[in-house]
Amino acid sequence: MAETVVYDVKGLLKDLAALEPGLKKALVRDSKAIGKPIASVIKSQIPTTAPLSGMANNGRLGWGSGKAANSVTTKFRSGRSRYTAVTPLVSVWVNSPMTAIADIAGKGSMRKAKRVTSEYAYKDGRRRHAVTSQGRIMVARLKERNLNNFVYPAVEDRIEDAQTAIKLVIEKYARMVNRKIG
């Protein structure tokens, strides 16, 4: 699917705010509302229990630890990036780190970037360790149980419709501004 890009959203938001208080908020709310059904589909696809026993812990990367494993939010971001000109305007975020890891597991080249880690602080000194095969085993197990790559396949066919719908919302509000100016 070719990437669709909209222009000058920031200018539109500014004009909307100047036109009538609350219009800007309404645009954001309407745009996000389109992403919400997609978010709930993704939510339903995320396993409720840890897919692998090792993920069931209370540590930083435990399944559902800190952030709920099925925490999915829709975001509207009009701010610019310092590094790229094209950035997401409306997006759906899967927030839990371990859920994200399980989803993207096996999507890479499976090539070891390094044989040994960089040096890092450990207890009173510094150390480095060999890169193990833990990751490969995790990917293999997830693939066996068909518990990886669950986000995109679930919503792929809805993205294009959502895109069109959001563009219509933006056009609707742009028309309001144009009418006022005209």
Using CB under 8 A, pick the residue from 90, 105, 139, 176 that binds other proteins.
90
Q: Taking a C-beta distance cutoff of 8 angstroms, is the pair 105, 139 a contact?
A: yes
Length of the chain measured in residues: 182
Question: What Rg do the C-alpha atoms of the chain give, in angstroms?
Answer: 21
Instruction: Read off the amino acid at residue 84.
Output: T
Among the residue ranges 98-106, 117-125, 140-148, 172-180, the one whose residues contact other proteins (CB under 8 A): 98-106
**What does the angle CA 81 – CA 69 – CA 91 come to, to the nearest 5 degrees?**
30
Q: For tokens 């978010």, what's the residue?
A: 39
Applying CB under 8 A, does 159 fall inside the site for other proteins? yes
109-148: which residues touch other proteins (CB under 8 A)?
A: none
Instruction: Read off the amino acid at residue 181.
Output: I
Applying CB under 8 A, does 151 fall inside the site for other proteins? yes
Applying CB under 8 A, does 34 fall inside the site for other proteins? yes
3-state secondary structure of 21: coil
Q: For tokens 């539109």, what's the residue?
A: 12
Applying CB under 8 A, does 85 fall inside the site for other proteins? yes
CA–CA dist 167, 34 (Å, integer): 11
Applying CB under 8 A, does 26 fall inside the site for other proteins? no
Nearer residue to other proteins within complex by CB, 127 or 152: 152
CB of 126 to other proteins, least distance (A): 25
User: Which of 34, 11, 24, 15 minimizes the C-alpha distance to 164?
Assistant: 34
Among the residue ranges 14-22, 48-56, 128-136, 150-158, the one whose residues contact other proteins (CB under 8 A): 150-158
CB of 6 to other proteins, least distance (A): 5
Residues that bind other proteins (CB under 8 A): 3-10, 31, 34-35, 38, 42, 78, 80-97, 99-101, 103-104, 151-152, 155, 159, 162-163, 166-167
